[in-house]
Amino acid sequence: MSAHRKYFGTDGVRGRTGTFPITAEFALKLGWAAGKVLAQEDGGMVLIGQDTRVSGDMLSAALKAGFLAAGLDVYLLGAMPTPGVAYLTHSLAAKVGVVVSASHNPYYDNGIKFFNAQGKKLPDVIEYQIEELLDTPMTTVAPHKMGQAKLIGDIPGRYIEFCKNTFLKSYDLKGMKIVIDCAQGATSHIAPAVFTELGAEVIAIHHTPDGFNINENCGSTHPQALQQAVLAHNADLGIAFDGDGDRVLFIDDQGEMVDGDELLFIIARAYQEKGLLTGGVVGTQMSNLGLENAFKALNIAFVRTDVGDRYVMDALLQTGWNLGGESSGHIICLDKTTTGDGIVSALQVLEQLCHTKQKLHTLKKGMVKCAQILVNVPVANGKEIVQTAVVQQFCQQAEESLERRGRILLRASGTEPLVRVMVEGEDASLIREVADSLAAVVATAATRLR
């Protein structure tokens, strides 16, 4: 078995639409191969959901044809948040769940990711098996075994009710004014309903997707518009999702951003107080040092993994813990659901606001963040550049300049053609200088390798 996956990255297969492997031809065969591996010869049901980008219909249709050829019945869910597909896959006893989405990427990118029958992302061994089958000729089952395309009623309603049921019935959101940024994505027809039905006064923005505007200057990757809206409407807070709804960030009533680390801290402290926390909390190498320090003060164990929700999930399953997340806002509450869910995570934060009767601005102060600078350097061959001698040597020198009062993380993105330079420490001006210098070294190394 190869040590490196050929098509699958850290979050499924992803790339620019129309460029291999994000083509209709590849999606057709990927659907067939996934169907053969995950359903064996037993047939069964597969659910296919997508976000709102224009290429979703093409890829969903190609995947559908592949699954039908493999002998599975297919239910097209239309626009549906990634965690919604995970929930429905498990609750409807499907063999496979598929999401056509590139998450927080621009509209011209797309991706394909899978959930197993338990609503969890596929382990490496299954992805390897699918890749091996992709290199063999595609065959079609006998006509009497061929799958059929079918419909399921009220798909959004099923997921809306699930989300609402993760919020304690003894609380409600009456009297709370919330601005919700749906990133022109898959939560556009879901999130406003969830929070409205729980009693909040909801002001929805960026909830009219047209296939091309997903994540465009909005959502969790561009929170500036939400910050302005919260202040303009004198709202209690704002909530921003990404294009496929598995990430969430908040804006407090002062217009300040509350990121994934701070949200994870708020949820963890709430879990600890209620006796719901099993073990400790899982973060990543990007988690702020202030989060680690805050957990030490609360006597909550904390471990870091590589960046990516799949690694957070792996650590949770290995430890038996039930809470983990990333600073990007991808938070996993395993006692509530099977994968990262922006709406469910947001509801856990709101529940704690109801419980403590405090404002979000106050609640987040239990964690003091260290200064952290993240610079994204556009490069095509990030993994190779990170390992070059000149970059490694500069990293070592930079770490010495921080004198053990900070840390450096340099990594190639698993989802975009970028090298991410992260520097963290006590001295904000020093870490900015180190980050900019390291980014320049990376950019120069990339030019030399062309």
Task: CATH 3.40.120.10 in the chain: give the residue spans.
Answer: 13-153, 174-255, 259-366
What is the pLDDT at residue 1?
37
103 given a catalytic annotation: yes
Cis previous bond, 106, omega within 30: no
Q: For 259-366, which CATH superfamily applies?
A: Alpha-D-Glucose-1,6-Bisphosphate, subunit A, domain 3 (3.40.120.10)
- Residue numbers in the chain where pLDDT is lower than 50: 1-3
Domain 174-255 in this protein, CATH class = alpha beta
What is the pLDDT at residue 4?
67
Could you tell me which residues come within 8 angstroms of residue 181 by beta carbon, excluding any fewer than 6 positions away? 205, 206, 218, 219, 220, 223, 225, 226, 229, 238, 239, 240, 241
Torsion of CA 288, 294, 295, 296, to 10 degrees: 110
Query: CA-CA distance, 334 to 340, in Å (whole number)?
Result: 9
What is the pLDDT at residue 448?
83
Q: State which CATH number among 3.40.120.10, 3.40.50.2300, 2.40.30.10, 3.40.50.1980 fits the domain covering 13-153.
A: 3.40.120.10
Could you tell me which residues come within 8 angstroms of residue 164 by beta carbon, excluding any fewer than 6 positions away? 194, 197, 198, 347
Query: CA-CA distance, 423 to 286, in Å (whole number)?
Result: 10
b (16+ CB within 10 A) / e for 218-255: bbbbbbebbbebbeeeebbbbbbbbbbbbbbbbbbbeb
**What six digits make up the tokens of 279?**
């073990």
Task: CATH 3.30.310.50 in the chain: give the residue spans.
Answer: 371-449
HEC string of 7-57 equals CCEECEEEEECCCCCCCHHHHHHHHHHHHHHHHCCCCCEEEEEECCCCCHH
Query: CA-CA distance, 384 to 203, in Å (whole number)?
Result: 46
Helix spans in 258-405 (H): 260-274, 289-297, 309-319, 342-356, 360-363, 382-386, 389-402
Query: CA-CA distance, 179 to 123, in Å (whole number)?
Result: 37
Strand partners, 111: 14
Q: How many CB atoms lie within 10 A of CB 259?
A: 21
pLDDT in tens, 56-106: 999 999 999 999 999 999 999 999 999 999 999 999 999 999 999 999 999
Query: CA-CA distance, 379 to 393, in Å (whole number)?
Result: 19
Active-site choice (103, 287, 328, 413) = 103
Q: State which CATH number among 1.10.540.10, 3.30.310.50, 3.40.50.620, 3.10.690.10 fits the domain covering 371-449.
A: 3.30.310.50
The answer to whether 442 and 377 are in contact (CB under 8 A) is yes
Phi, psi of 23 (to 5 degrees): -130, 160
What is the pLDDT at residue 450?
66
Helix spans in 140-299 (H): 155-164, 191-197, 224-232, 260-274, 289-297
